[in-house]
């Protein structure tokens, strides 16, 4: 048997994600179509004998964190520096055999809606030896987010763990079933960072979750509701929130069909409709996002553009004809992205 000293350090790529369609549907038992992308984090783990975990990140130079291997759960939401709380919460749930040193190197803009948190969480879970399927990993990562007070759904960790190269992942959050959707269309996917940062703990995200819960208390889970069901919502604000979720879920399968059959005109139209619904009914966009989305849509070769993720700032996803424009030609950061394997798909392939 190998001695402890001979244990090598291991590393894991945690992909970020771009959601192509279906935002604010996951915590409503609805549908979404995200993909794991080639922007992400590389987390390295060097095990040691001490029952302690140290963690450092390129994004927070000079701000390392240290906590016991078996931390007191109550203390995690107050851990300093705050950036390390999620990783500590994952460690507390994953209970790795050994302490050690984690280091995070990232190519993902933080707080931009590309799921830098889930990218870190799934990679840390993998390095801690969590060996379940993508849903098990995702549930653990979601529980970790909840442990530190962020009321997220399963969208991000499920695709960061369970995405497949070259494909988007259709997720049904009512049954928690997934299906890969091949992107047959000759199209490029570009993410554009508005530079407007938000934090899910302090943005209106939790307010939207609460509004959807209030609507669901009247008409049942919004992801399963119909246009007719939501007529029963007297409060106009709750009705608008519900209308977004109902219309967005309907767009997911239409969009998946358009992508897999190469119907770019329909895919672009659905993206624009989704964005409008997120802006008007869900009020999840900002003037900066509106302005940038409008500019992007007017570029030649752009098929469609929408905010992606939670909103309230963050990134826009653009579908464009191949070579239509160079991301470097924009005056804000932008990247061409492709769908890659999530952590579990990578593990399964050995």
195 Ramachandran zone, left/alpha/beta (phi>0; psi -120 to 50) = left
Asked whether position 251 contacts ligand GLA by CB under 6 A, the answer is no
Nearest distance in Å: CB 114, ligand GLA:
9
Nearer to ligand GLA, 19 or 194 (CB): 19
Asked whether position 23 contacts ligand GLA by CB under 6 A, the answer is yes
Nearer to ligand GLA, 144 or 152 (CB): 152
Active-site pick, 156, 193, 281, 341: 156
Nearest distance in Å: CB 48, ligand GLA:
32
Asked whether position 96 contacts ligand GLA by CB under 6 A, the answer is no
Rounded-to-integer distance, Cα 159 and Cα 244, Å = 22
Known catalytic membership, residue 156? yes
Q: Is 191 helix (H, G, I), strand (E, B) or coil?
A: strand
Stretch that binds ligand GLA, among 18-26, 37-45, 218-226, 291-299 (CB under 6 A): 18-26
Taking 3-state DSSP, the helix, strand and coil percentages for the chain, each rounded to the nearest 5, stand at: 40, 25, 35
Nearer to ligand GLA, 242 or 264 (CB): 242
Name which of residues 141 to 170 contact ligand GLA (CB under 6 A): 152-153, 155-156
Asked whether position 310 contacts ligand GLA by CB under 6 A, the answer is yes
- 153: its two tokens: 């759904």
Nearer to ligand GLA, 19 or 178 (CB): 19
Q: Which DSSP letter does residue 73 get?
A: G
Nearer to ligand GLA, 154 or 264 (CB): 154
Stretch that binds ligand GLA, among 20-28, 67-75, 159-167, 250-258 (CB under 6 A): 20-28
Q: Provide the H-helix boundaries in the chain.
A: 85-94, 116-127, 134-147, 155-162, 205-219, 236-261, 264-280, 287-297, 343-348
Asked whether position 172 contacts ligand GLA by CB under 6 A, the answer is no
Handedness of CA 332, 300, 180, 208 (dihedral sign): positive
Beta strand pairing status for 99-106 and 52-57? parallel
Nearest distance in Å: CB 284, ligand GLA:
8
Among 13, 27, 83, 282, interactor with ligand GLA by CB under 6 A: 27
> Which of 24, 23, 22, 31 shows the shortest CA–CA distance to 174?
31
Residue with tokens 């992942």: 169
Handedness of CA 171, 242, 194, 300 (dihedral sign): positive
Catalytic positions, please? 156
Residues that bind ligand GLA in the complex, under the rule CB under 6 A: 19, 23-24, 26-27, 115, 152-153, 155-156, 309-310
């Amino acid at each position: 048997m190998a001695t402890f000293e001979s244990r090598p350090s291991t590393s894991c790529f945690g992909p970020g994600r771009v959601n192509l369609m279906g935002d604010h549907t996951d915590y409503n038992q609805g549908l979404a179509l995200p993909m794991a992308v080639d922007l992400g984090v590389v987390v390295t783990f060097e095990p040691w004998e001490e029952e302690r975990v140290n963690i450092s990140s390129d994004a927070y130079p000079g701000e390392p964190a240290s906590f016991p291997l078996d931390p007191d759960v109550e203390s995690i939401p107050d851990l300093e520096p705050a950036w390390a709380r999620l990783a500590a919460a994952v460690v507390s749930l994953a209970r790795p055999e050994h302490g050690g040193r984690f280091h995070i190197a990232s190519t993902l803009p933080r707080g931009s809606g590309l799921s830098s948190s889930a990218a870190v969480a799934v990679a840390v879970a993998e390095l801690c030896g969590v060996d379940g399927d993508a849903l098990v990993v995702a549930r653990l990562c979601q529980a970790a987010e909840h442990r530190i007070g962020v009321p997220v759904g399963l969208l991000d960790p499920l695709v960061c763990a369970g995405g497949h190269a070259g494909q988007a992942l259709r997720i049904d959050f009512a049954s928690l079933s997934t299906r890969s959707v091949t992107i047959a269309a000759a199209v490029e996917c570009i993410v554009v960072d508005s530079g407007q940062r938000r934090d899910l703990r302090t943005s209106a995200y939790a307010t939207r979750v609460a509004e959807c819960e209030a609507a669901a208390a009247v008409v049942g889970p919004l992801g399963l509701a119909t246009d007719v069901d939501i007529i029963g919502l007297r409060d106009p604000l709750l009705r608008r929130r519900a209308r977004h979720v109902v219309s967005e879920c309907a767009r997911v399968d239409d969009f998946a069909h358009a992508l897999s059959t190469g119907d770019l005109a329909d895919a672009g139209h659905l993206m624009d409709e989704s964005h409008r619904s997120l802006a008007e009914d869900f009020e999840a966009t900002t003037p900066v996002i509106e302005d940038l989305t409008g500019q992007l849509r007017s570029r030649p070769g752009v098929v469609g553009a929408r905010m992606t993720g939670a909103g309230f700032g963050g990134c826009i996803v653009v579908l464009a004809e191949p070579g239509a424009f160079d991301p470097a030609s924009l005056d804000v950061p932008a990247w061409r992205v492709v769908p890659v394997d999530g952590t579990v798909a990578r593990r399964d392939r050995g």
